[in-house]
Amino acid sequence: MTVLTCSNMRTISSPPLPEQTNLWNEFVRDVREAVDSNDGSILVKGLPVTPEDETLVALGRALGPLSLAGAHSVDKRYAYNVEVRSETGIPDELGLLIYSSTDWDFPCHTDEYRIEAPADLVAMHCVRPDECGAGRTILYHLRDLLMILTPPQIDVLRRNDFPSQFGSTSIIWDSEGGTCIRYNRREVDRFADLNSQPLSSNQRSVLDRLDSILRDEAFRSEFLLESNDCVLLNNRTILHGRTKLTTGSHRLLKRIRLHAGPPLHGVGGY
Ligand SMILES: O=C(O)CCC(=O)C(=O)O
Ligand SMILES: [Fe+2]
């Protein structure tokens, strides 16, 4: 197993198999340490892809309790298939388009914005990359956002008055473990409609500014996931997205989400 830092991203190559108990436990510790550090992410190269996702699920289970709720209802398994499902994508149970089922670019977001206690760890394991090398993974660190946003903009995002499925929420907040973010612009707008809780013009302009920062290539890291690559992220400090796929792409990722035990820290809490 090699641990190295390449293009700003901590990487582990040739991880052990779960049967190699001592090496596996050391690997799990390294992964946990990386996602709970200032890096907030790690790329594991050469994690075997198997038909039942055993290795990914074993890694997830070693990091915290995996629940089926982490997978979308169309796939009652621990690992959810992220793939293009039709030309215009498919809707979820609320009728909201599942963006990952389209070949469109997917702006930076955190997963599970809409629910009260989002998973703090997200892993995406690449089974098959896009055939033309499209669909680059984008990561954006909350630490960089906090440096670019102005204090009054951050104050707006800290207010507990953004719409979600469970009521109002803050987008940025401080916990005992540091500063955290939850954000998905499409879901904010969707629940503003569904809850009849329109955004104020001030909120809208701060979110527009946030979106334009997230689109700026200066601070984000971008890389292509190859077969058997698995990226693991702290969903409280790292926003993720992907660039557009080739039309009709056969790219396939397996995604798991979980509540790490103990919970991951926010910025400044490591
Ligand atoms: O397709 C990707 O690379 C990202 C998918 C994603 O962010 C998601 O399913 O939440
Ligand atoms: Fe996501």
Report how far residue 258's alpha carbon sits from residue 119's, in angstroms, rounded to the nearest whole number: 5
Q: Is the CB of 242 under 6 A from ligand 1?
A: yes
Taking the C-alpha atoms of residue 239 and residue 181, their distance in angstroms, rounded to an integer, is: 8
Count Cβ neighbours within 10 Å for each residue of 23-53 and write b for 16 or more, e otherwise.
Answer: ebeebbebbbebbbbebbbbbbbebebeeeb
For residues 114 and 187, is the Cβ–Cβ distance under 8 A? yes
DSSP conformational letter for 222: E
Cα→Cα distances 33→39, 141, 146, Å: 9, 17, 23
Cα dist. 69→50, 53, 79, 214 in Å?
22, 17, 10, 28
The Å distance, Cα 19 to ligand 2 centre, comes to 30
Residue 141 CB–ligand 1 contact under 6 Å = no
Tokens representing 52 are 């039942």
- 110 Cβ below 6 A of ligand 1: no
239 lines ligand 1 (CB under 6 A): no
- 217 Cβ neighbours under 8 A, 6+ residues apart: none
As a whole number of angstroms, the distance between CA 201 and CA 27 comes to 48
What pLDDT does 92 receive? Answer: 85
Which amino acid residue places its CA nearest to atom 1 of ligand 1?
100
Question: Which ligand 1 atom sits nearest the alpha carbon of residue 122?
Answer: 10
User: In a 3-state reduction of DSSP, which class is residue 143?
Assistant: helix
pLDDT at 6: 45
pLDDT at position 98: 87
Per-residue pLDDT of the chain (270 residues; tens, 9 = 90+): 444 444 578 999 999 999 999 999 999 999 999 999 999 999 999 999 998 899 999 999 999 998 775 445 455 578 888 999 888 888 888 888 888 889 999 999 999 999 999 999 999 999 999 999 999 999 999 999 999 999 999 999 999 999 999 999 999 999 889 999 999 999 999 999 999 999 999 999 999 999 999 999 888 899 999 999 999 999 999 999 999 999 989 999 999 999 999 999 999 998
What local confidence, expressed as pLDDT, does residue 5 receive? 42
Cβ of 114 closer than 6 Å to ligand 1, yes or no, is no
Minimal-distance CA residue to ligand 1 atom 6: 100
Q: What pLDDT is attached to residue 76?
A: 59
Read out DSSP for 18-46? TTSHHHHHHHHHHHHHHHTSSS-EEEEE-
One-letter identity of residue 2: T
Domains of the chain, earliest start first: 2-258 (3.60.130.10)
Helix (H, G, I), strand (E, B) or coil at 10: strand
H-run or E-run covering 205? helix 201-215
Do β-strands 9-13 and 41-45 pair in parallel, antiparallel, or remain unpaired?
Answer: parallel
Residue nearest to atom 5 of ligand 1 (CA): 100
Q: Is residue 257 lining ligand 1, measured as CB closer than 6 Å?
A: no
Q: Are 46 and 15 in contact (CB under 8 A)?
A: yes
Q: Is the peptide bond preceding residue 262 cis, with omega within 30 degrees of 0?
A: yes
**From the CA of 4, how far away is ligand 1's center (Å)?**
25
Q: How far is the CA of 82 from the centre of ligand 1 (A)?
A: 6
Residue 89 CB burial class (10 angstroms; 0-12, 13-18, ≥19): middle
State which ligand 1 atom lies nearest to the alpha carbon of 255.
Answer: 9
In terms of DSSP bridges, do strands 252-258 and 121-128 run parallel, antiparallel, or are they unpaired?
A: antiparallel
Closest CA to 83 of 225, 252, 256: 252
What does the pLDDT read at residue 78? Answer: 87
pLDDT of residue 168: 98
**Ligand 1 binding pocket includes 112 (Cβ within 6 Å):** no
113 lines ligand 1 (CB under 6 A): no
Residue 75: the pLDDT is 55
| pLDDT number for residue 86 | 83
Whole-prediction pTM value? 0.94
80 CA distance to ligand 2 middle (Å):
11
